[in-house]
Amino acid sequence: MKRQIYLSLIFSMLIVFGFSQSQRMVLLEHFTQASCGPCATYNPQINSLLASNPDKITAIMYHTSWPGYDPMYNHNTVENAARTSYYSVSSVPNSVLDGNIYNGHPNGWNISTVNNRYAVPSPCDISIYHALSADENEFLVWVMIEATEDMPAGLKMHLAAIEKEITFSSPPGSNGETEFFNVMKKMLPNQTGLVLPAIPAGEYIILEYSWEHSNVYDVDQLAAVGFVQNNDTKEVMQAAMSSDEPFDPPYNVDADIMTVSNISQTYCNGYIEPVITIRNNGEAPLTSLDISYTINGGDPVTYNWTGNLGFLEKDIIEMTGSEFTVMDVNTLEVTGASPNGQNDDYMTNNVRTIEIEQAPSVTSPVSLVLKLDNHPEETSWEVKDSQGNVLYEGGDYTTAGQILVEQFQVEDEDCYTFYIYDEGGDGLTEGGSYKLGYSGNIIFAEGTGFGVKDEAQFSINYTGISENDFASDLHVYPVPVEKEVNLSFNLLRNSEVKYSVINPTGEKLFETEHGMQSPGEKIFTINLEEFSPGVYYVILETGTKQTIRKIVLVK
């Protein structure tokens, strides 16, 4: 698998000097509902407090599924529900201040609570800039986090796209409210947020987000609220509201090797063709940059880029490919030098190093477990051999959240490449994922929010490959299944045995454990009489191994 030494998740790390403690911005996460009677009583008081203290407190309003109808909940059920569950909110209205400072009915806090929290210094500053794309179809956000104290790795950056004010001509729910403020429309990139690296005092990072917005009443009311949170304690370390004015560039001349893509998770074919995204983090327009890369210390491949990038603007460069001898761990180093023909004011983001492992030698069949996200029509995939021939492919999916299991019978000793594509450009989000494995549950590649494309190579080489050391030769029969399905396999040593049945959406419908079993041939039977006709998956767990088989039930 590849590992980027400098985190490549669309940000760069910069250094500033003369740092001090940061003034805190308090965050209110308020849970409400358009058909909640008490909400109509307390929300105006909260909105008044927020309007009177914009320099002390900012807010995100989440709308719950109860007690009645609320279109703002319906616009994003998953992420509203996720934050509701995160704070164990069971009634509305409910206010949460800075994650763990207060959680309860809004009559339990006031401006004194805010002032007390406001007086506690924060370990960082956050600046947020938002804009709409030229066609106004995308909401774009840039976030700069500057550490004024050492910040440990593992903190979460959460960003909520909000609609600052929504006004209805008549109440959308049953409580009489017609005005709603700071309504959460989308968590970016999703409800789980982004895991931050360690940020030493005096350094800062720039994060970049985009959202093809939907269910927005007025795009001119879009803004963003961002916050850094300790997921273990739930404490919010700092928060900020976005502005439609860019924050100040940190340096005058600063070219950033932002991301390196078109890189396989593993390699066996010895050919690399990276795609490099550069960004101008400086105040001066970026007009030239010498870009080069090496693989395993070989001869550099160079490209003398020219253009005209303003602050935070980007360009994508498709580099010439290079052959290399595949090693156990392969080191790709990408460098940008001499921006505008001069020294870079900040050198840390000029080099990006990626370590890529040699592709595994696997046994056939290779299994793909694909869980589709909320946009299944955007996902497709294919498997190619070393000559570029397409051996397997999939796409044209229509069911959100569906779990698909595919198997690739690849018997020739060769180097194969699995490609997965996302037309939306954000990979598999909202719970979507893919995994590639063999011999039951040996996973050698996986991914979620990979962007436009992800890939992984694997080879079939029978020399030195061992069998599953728990069980072998799982067979399910009859095919198709009408009433009962039999699981037949050879247990190679004493092992715990468990099996289950799931449907294509991943819901577990049946599970049983048989405890410790002795070695030998085993046959277990599952009665499916109460199941509806359709496709299901049987999962056999033996020891630490897992094997999946697809079955079709007919009646």
CA distances from 355 to 4, 16, 296 (A): 6, 28, 10
Average pLDDT of the residues in 312-332: 96
The Cα–Cα gap between 476 and 443 comes to 22
pLDDT at 3 over 70: no
Distance, first Cα to last Cα, the chain: 44
The answer to whether the CB of 59 falls within 8 A of the CB of 30 is yes
Q: Is CATH 2.60.40.10 the right assignment for the domain spanning 17-241?
A: yes
Work out the angle at residue 428's Cα, subtended by the Cα atoms of residues 422 and 434, and round it to the nearest 5 degrees.
105
Q: State the virtual CA torsion across 298, 9, 242, 234 in degrees, nearest 10.
A: -140
Q: Is the dihedral of CA 71, 76, 81, 84 positive or negative?
A: negative
Distance of alpha carbon 516 from the chain centroid: 38
pLDDT of residue 461: 59
Closest by CA position to 438, among listed 382, 361, 381? 361
pLDDT at 469 over 80: no
Q: Is CATH 2.60.40 the right assignment for the domain spanning 361-460?
A: yes
Closest by CA position to 364, among listed 456, 280, 462, 285? 462
Mean pLDDT of the chain: 91
pLDDT of residue 505: 64
Distance of alpha carbon 166 from the chain centroid: 29
pLDDT tens per residue across span 354-366: 999 999 888 888 9
Average pLDDT of the residues in 318-330: 95
69: how many CB neighbours lie within 10 A of its CB? 13
Q: Is the dihedral of CA 320, 323, 326, 327 positive or negative?
A: negative
Could you tell me which residues are beta bridge partners of residue 31?
62, 94
The answer to whether the CB of 453 falls within 8 A of the CB of 259 is no
Class of domain 2-9+250-357: mainly beta
Q: State the virtual CA torsion across 257, 258, 262, 266 in degrees, nearest 10.
A: 90
pLDDT of residue 21: 83
Comparing 96-110, 394-408, 487-501, the range with the smallest average pLDDT is: 487-501
Same fold, 2-9+250-357 and 17-241: yes
Q: What is the DSSP letter of 80?
A: H
Q: Is CATH 2.60.40.2550 the right assignment for the domain spanning 471-553?
A: yes
Average pLDDT of the residues in 307-329: 96
pLDDT at 161 over 90: yes
Closest by CA position to 81, among listed 62, 59, 98, 104? 62
pLDDT of residue 19: 56
- DSSP 3-state assignment of 75? coil
Q: Is the dihedral of CA 319, 324, 330, 331 positive or negative?
A: negative
Could you identify the residue written with the tokens 């893509």?
261
Domain boundaries, the chain: 2-9+250-357, 17-241, 361-460, 471-553
In order, the DSSP letters of 111-155 are: HHHHHHHHTS-BSEEEEEEEEE-TTS-EEEEEEEEEESS-B-TT-
pLDDT at 257 over 70: yes
Distance of alpha carbon 514 from the chain centroid: 37
pLDDT tens per residue across span 179-196: 999 999 999 988 989 999
Prior bond to 67 cis, omega within 30? Answer: yes
pLDDT at 102 over 90: yes
The answer to whether the CB of 416 falls within 8 A of the CB of 457 is yes
Q: Could you tell me the pTM of the whole model?
A: 0.76
Average pLDDT of the residues in 165-184: 98
pLDDT at 376 over 90: yes
Could you identify the residue written with the tokens 């992420």?
79
The Cα–Cα gap between 278 and 138 comes to 21
Average pLDDT of the residues in 107-124: 98
In order, the DSSP letters of 221-265 are: GEEEEEEEE-TTT--EEEEEE-BSSPPPPSBSS-EEEEEEES--S
Closest by CA position to 520, among listed 485, 488, 477? 488
Q: What tokens appear for 168 in the block? A: 């209805």
424: how many CB neighbours lie within 10 A of its CB? 16
Q: Residue 471's pLDDT band (boundaries 50, 70, 90)?
A: low
pLDDT tens per residue across span 502-530: 886 667 888 999 888 888 888 999 999 88
48: how many CB neighbours lie within 10 A of its CB? 10
Q: What tokens appear for 29 in the block? A: 């996460």
The Cα–Cα gap between 334 and 312 comes to 20
In order, the DSSP letters of 322-357 are: EE----SEEEEEEEEE-GGGS--S--GGGEEEEEEE
Average pLDDT of the residues in 385-411: 91
- Please name the helix (run of DSSP H) or strand (run of DSSP E) that holds residue 66, with its range, or none: none
